[in-house]
Structure 1
Amino acid sequence: MDTSPTATVPGYPMPRAAGCPFDPPPAVEELRAAPLAKVRIWDGSTPWLITRHADQRALLNDPRVSIDDRRPGFPHVTAHRAGRAHSTPRMVTNTDAPDHTRLRRMVTGPFLVKRVEAMRPAVQGIVDRVIDDMLAGPRPADLLTALALPVPSLVICALLGVPYRDHAFFHHNSSRALDRSLPPEEAEAAGQALIGYLDRLLREKLADPADDTLSDLGARVTAGEMSHDEAVHMGVALLIAGHETTATMISLGTLALLRDPGRLAALRERSEDPKAVAGAVEELLRYLTIVDSALRRVALADIEIGGATIRAGDGLLFDLAAANRDPDAFTGDPAALDPDRPARHHQAFGYGPHQCLGQSLARLELQVVYGTLYRRIPTLRLAVPFEEIEFLPDGITYGVRALPVTW
């Protein structure tokens, strides 16, 4: 493989094909034919792009691969992120063990599978009430704002102890903080607004604790187990991840099903079969892979993989969508949506020690929504032509600006 400076190296990220909004960029799919490939990112550096399912699993679980964004060679997503790396507090999203282990342990409890499953009746109640409100409201409705955002926002607010009345504020600012198309100063201002908000809320919890995750973080600050800044940034990360990604998946998954009436009808008929709904959720997670910014790491040592040598200091990009369409990992045609496909081993939540902390909660919310929405509104359909749906390619997650529906 020619990786010399004079070699032709494709730019990354790559555009999706016109008319194929659910598929990874064709150029990324083509690169999966080679074991590893170099790509060129915004600063001219050429990290490795990892596209194969097995290679991603091997490297994401390798202690010689680091998520520490302060290390030389780390492939930052933007110049803004690169400039902030040394001033950003250490969090679960930018630390290796043992710091990562310590910080993750602080918030694992609420997201354990058994504790999340115990929330199912409460989540079902939230989904039913939100659907009631949508049915009582005007038609057409924007499914994103009428259902997809309120459901996970209500759930994460209750779990964290964040007032739901502030949901418009934190949704607006989290969207802007993650928008790669914004000028750096605007994204920074949105991020700082969230930090200020969580800082004030944490101080309130320190003075008057309640039965919620922010109060638990406050107790750990008081006990000296973590710093105040660590707790604030942990709260920001949980708040953003807890509503933004699930809301995107609800709306984009619904759009994919509305484009495939046969699959939607089959899911509706089996909506009271928990295993069938859970299987459909896993396949939709695999098929859509809404994380639209590759996972980013840097090699700490030379690593031999796929017949190539990754050198210490080389940046690594993990394109999850490409791995989730890998024909060596998934039966049948991975480019097709098939809710009967065994897909639980997808990597929509990443893999390894930094795999998404809230994946059990996301699965529960998606199962309840997908198992309820299409059964309760069997005539749900798009209110505009599919071609008029605007997709958002510039965030950390890939979704739609709005999803007009009627029934």
Structure 2
Amino acid sequence: MPTSLEENFYPMERVPQCPFDLPPQLQEIARTAPVSRVRIWDGSSPWLITGYAEARQVLTDARASSDQRLPGYTFAAPQAKAFHTRNRSMPTVDDPEHAHLRRMVTADFSNRRMESLRSVFQQTVDDLIDGLLAAGDSADLFADLAVPMSSKAICEVLGVHHREGERFAALGRVMAVPGSPPEVHAKVVEDMRALLGSLVEAARAEPGDGVIGHLVRAGELPDEEIVATALLLMAAGHGATAHMTTLGTMALLTHPEQVALVRDSQDPVFIANAVEELLRYLSVAHLGRRRVAKEDIEVGGVLIRAGEGIIVATDTANHDPRAFDGDPDELDLTRDARHHLAFGFGVHQCLGQQLSRVLLQVVYGTLYRRIPTLELAVPLRDMSYTLDLAIYGVKALPVKW
């Protein structure tokens, strides 16, 4: 195990040949110290929480603040600091402000609402797969299925009309794919902000049935905050589900016995459980949940002082053998993984988790059944992975059948 803080630079590097494994250095830290110091990009040394029980404790402790205005808060990257400084929304504030904002849109992301859209999502996935099959015997599953699927879904939830949907999807594709020069990414964010602003303005006359219309109708937020909320929901819901679709497909296709279970199952309960295990196993939010201590907190026998930054590594927590039966480093679709932390925990857990769940149930339950000979077109070692976004995944997923 590294012996100096200088060596413990977070996030740690993965092994490209083992894309589903956590970084070896991070695994070693998790095995020996559920609470330890690391160094990050800005030179600060926040606490890293790697244990499952310790993660749940921090994520439910009101003394561990999500308020990014507080000194000591640790941002994942300079871009994240710039974005969130301008866009204050649910993940960046504490209760009661957080609860007030969340209540405004809870119904739009409820399990009942998502289930009511399941047939819409099913039609979207079927149409996209029809397009793949009509185009030939190979595709980039990320660009040709995952991104348009998640884009159409979030458009449906936000209430983006079909006439703006293509422009919205085009901007979303750029935002979801890493590697763009900073000035290009910044321009896309501004274009998305302008588009959402025009949708908010249009909703003043005709609110419609979606998040934007509901926030306008509620009349409690200025346009700028409605735009910030919609932008956050778009970025979070769009990228995470798209990358989870492709990385999950990679994991399944490299575990033939597991993909066979999904392909051959007609049981929606099994498919739902498989989604939970994939969410746990992959834990694509790989840069941790960020907090800052407002008061002294003792976690795992370690005293975290007021003003010190905290990173909750939910990916290592989801591989904690104290919390999951069997070998948590192995993919087992029969495992009960419903208590995973892939969506966080506590009051700030991901608002769009039911959207992701239903979408993933639909796409995993459909894709391998409709294309039973699906396989990777290139070896794992030749894949290019996203390491500069909050969500871990692949830049492209070439497949054939």
TM-score, normalised via structure 2 length: 0.94
- The yes-or-no answer on 1:263 pairing with 2:261 is no
- From the superposition, tell whether residues 76 and 207 of structure 1 become closer, same or farther in structure 2 (CA, over 3 Å): same
Distance 2:129 2:82 in 1: 43
Identity %: 46
Which amino acid is 2:54 matched to?
Answer: D
SS for the counterpart of 2:92 is coil
- Give how far 1:211 is off: 2.0
Which residue does 2:350 correspond to in 1? 356
- Give how far 1:242 is off: 2.3
- From the superposition, tell whether residues 172 and 154 of structure 1 become closer, same or farther in structure 2 (CA, over 3 Å): closer
1:36, 1:48 within 8 Å by CA — same for their partners in 2? yes
Which residue does 1:202 correspond to in 2? 200
Distance 1:274 1:245 in 2: 22
- From the superposition, tell whether residues 82 and 167 of structure 1 become closer, same or farther in structure 2 (CA, over 3 Å): closer
2:175, 2:185 within 8 Å by CA — same for their partners in 1? no
Distance 1:255 1:303 in 2: 40
- From the superposition, tell whether residues 404 and 81 of structure 1 become closer, same or farther in structure 2 (CA, over 3 Å): closer
Question: More helix per residue: 1 or 2?
Answer: 2
- Give how far 1:174 is off: 2.1
Which amino acid is 2:365 matched to?
Answer: G
SS for the counterpart of 1:108 is helix
- Give how far 1:186 is off: 4.5
- Give how far 1:47 is off: 0.2
> Residues 360-386 of structure 1: CA distance to partner in whole angstroms, max 9, x if unpaired?
111001011111111111111112233
- The yes-or-no answer on 1:323 pairing with 2:320 is no
Q: What does residue range 96-175 of structure 1 map to in structure 2 within 5 Å? A: 96-162=94-160, 163-175=164-176
- From the superposition, tell whether residues 335 and 84 of structure 1 become closer, same or farther in structure 2 (CA, over 3 Å): closer
Q: What does residue range 224-373 of structure 1 map to in structure 2 within 5 Å? A: 225-270=220-265, 272-373=266-367
Distance 2:47 2:379 in 1: 39
Distance 2:174 2:370 in 1: 32
2:285, 2:342 within 8 Å by CA — same for their partners in 1? yes
SS for the counterpart of 1:234 is helix
> Residues 304-335 of structure 1: CA distance to partner in whole angstroms, max 9, x if unpaired?
12111000001000111111110001000000
- From the superposition, tell whether residues 135 and 7 of structure 1 become closer, same or farther in structure 2 (CA, over 3 Å): closer
CA RMSD of aligned residues (A): 1.8
Distance 1:364 1:199 in 2: 28
- Give how far 1:83 is off: 5.0
Distance 2:343 2:38 in 1: 23
- From the superposition, tell whether residues 90 and 386 of structure 1 become closer, same or farther in structure 2 (CA, over 3 Å): closer
SS for the counterpart of 2:189 is helix
- From the superposition, tell whether residues 327 and 124 of structure 1 become closer, same or farther in structure 2 (CA, over 3 Å): same
- Give how far 1:232 is off: 0.5
- In structure 2, the gaps of 5 or more residues are none
Which residue does 1:56 correspond to in 2? 55
- Give how far 1:41 is off: 0.7
Between stretches 54-63 and 73-82, larger displacement belongs to 73-82
Instruction: Give the total of aligned pairs.
Output: 395
- From the superposition, tell whether residues 395 and 85 of structure 1 become closer, same or farther in structure 2 (CA, over 3 Å): closer
> Residues 61-92 of structure 1: CA distance to partner in whole angstroms, max 9, x if unpaired?
10001011110001112234445655x24200
1:70, 1:85 within 8 Å by CA — same for their partners in 2? no
SS for the counterpart of 1:154 is helix
- From the superposition, tell whether residues 146 and 283 of structure 1 become closer, same or farther in structure 2 (CA, over 3 Å): same
Distance 2:22 2:314 in 1: 9
2:38, 2:45 within 8 Å by CA — same for their partners in 1? yes
- From the superposition, tell whether residues 371 and 28 of structure 1 become closer, same or farther in structure 2 (CA, over 3 Å): same
Distance 1:159 1:358 in 2: 10
Distance 2:68 2:88 in 1: 10
> Residues 166-202 of structure 1: CA distance to partner in whole angstroms, max 9, x if unpaired?
14432244236xx5x6665444333222212211121
Distance 2:149 2:9 in 1: 37
